[in-house]
A = this chain, B = another copy of it.
Amino acid sequence: MKVFQYVNIVTCDQDFHVYLDGILAVKESQIVYVGQENQEILKQADQIIDYQGAWIIPGLVNCHTHSAMTGLRGIRDDSNLHEWLEDYIWPAEAEFTPEMTTKAVKEALTEMLQSGTTTFNDMYNPNGVDIAEIYEAVKVSKMRCYFSPTLFSSDVESTAETIARTRAIIETIKGYQDPDFKVMVAPHSPYSCSRDLLEASLELAKEENIPLHIHVAETQEESGIILKRYGKRPLAFLDELGYLDHKAIFAHGVELNEAEITRLADSQVAIAHNPISNLKLASGIAPVVQLQQAGVAVGIATDSVASNNNLDMFEEGRTAALLQKMKNGDASQFPIETALKALTIEGAKVLGMADEIGSLEVGKQADFLVIQPQGKIHLQPQENMLSHLVYAVKSSDVNDVYIAGEQVVKDGQVLTVNL
């Protein structure tokens, strides 16, 4: 048993316990004690790590990204979503090779680990991806990953062919029998998939008993396209297809009205909120406070670096908090506790992993990050830890990261990815 002592722990558990000058005990991959100093626990320790007043919070959960696009950072800025996708992103992705995407994924793993992210939900354009290589890179990194091969409608492949290809990927991933490398079915969006492909995607997800992962209600333009094509707004259209009755992650959810939020509350859908990408592509601000009040789970996400342009979850969580205050005209909205939970336990709920990760509690996996505030001028005065964790901290402040009790980042250096 390893015990981390002289630590200030933000558990992000149900009651949001905070332990000042506490200890965290880890046996193999699990947390066996979290709380104030306890001599019994210290006596049982095989190893005691003195963190000298450092701050510990759960590993961050990035609910929606595209790690294979990391090589596209800076490809095209200052464009709206549809122009950006059609004229820049999709043509670039068509040129992807397995060498490129594996390299990009390794870079993304490095950037995510360095900034305290331990679990991510990844969506992949089908082209140029060697799933075995990516699995190997993720496995070696120790990160927990949901991998979603993306389905598009195109002139070069029929719905049946797309489904068959996706089914093969799912079988490959299931074959790994790795509980930390999971799979979802990811039709790209209501506008880029035919009704036929959307229906077949849902069928596949049901057959395989895995979640759906799809971009929904990202822009007004999307609503216009779907309204014109099907006579309904995106949410109603997907509801008609049955998407709201299957476990699903809808990325974005910017363009949602009150009735749609009410409908989501009574569905199996969770939202991955991408505040920076939604600003950068001029999409808007998701109604996160209203979604949360209605009872919809909302996690934080970076989207890809092509529309962000980094994988910094601290910046993302801070931006989410700041935007909700402004949007609602009320600075008390999305307070510190909400922001810290959105980065951790709420993200775990969105991914259906809240029994294992997302908070520091006995029995859960020991996924956490360590920030040493000493000597960092922007984290003074140190007493206001919770405030600083949301509003002042930078991803470069993350000193150490642990996943399942194993150290994966030491003094800002990633130990588990070979670039």
Query: Which A residues are within 8 Å of any B CB, using their own CB?
Result: 71, 73-75, 77-81, 84, 107, 110-111, 114, 276, 278-285, 305, 308-312, 315, 319, 322-323, 325-326, 328-333, 335-336, 377-378, 380-381, 383-384, 387-388, 390-392, 394-396, 419
Contact = CB atoms under 8 A, between A and B. Distances in A.
Given A77-B391, A310-B378, 4 more contacts: A78-B333, A107-B377, A279-B322, A396-B396
A79 B325 CA distance: 9
Nearest to A335: B78
Contacts of A79: 331-332
B326 A282 contact: yes
Contact of A387 (B71, B77, B279): B77
B84 A309 contact: no
B73 A377 contact: no
Contacts of A387: 73-74, 77, 309
A308 B391 contact: yes
From A73, A315, A323, residue with most partner B Cβ within 10 Å: A73
B331 A281 contact: yes
A325 B114 contact: no
16 contacts: A71-B381, A73-B378, A73-B380, A74-B387, A74-B391, A80-B331, A84-B331, A279-B325, A281-B325, A281-B331, A284-B326, A285-B326, A309-B391, A310-B378, A310-B391, A312-B378
A280 B394 CA distance: 17
Given A74-B387, A331-B281, A305 B392 contact: yes
Given A323-B279, A326-B282, A378-B311, A78 B394 contact: no
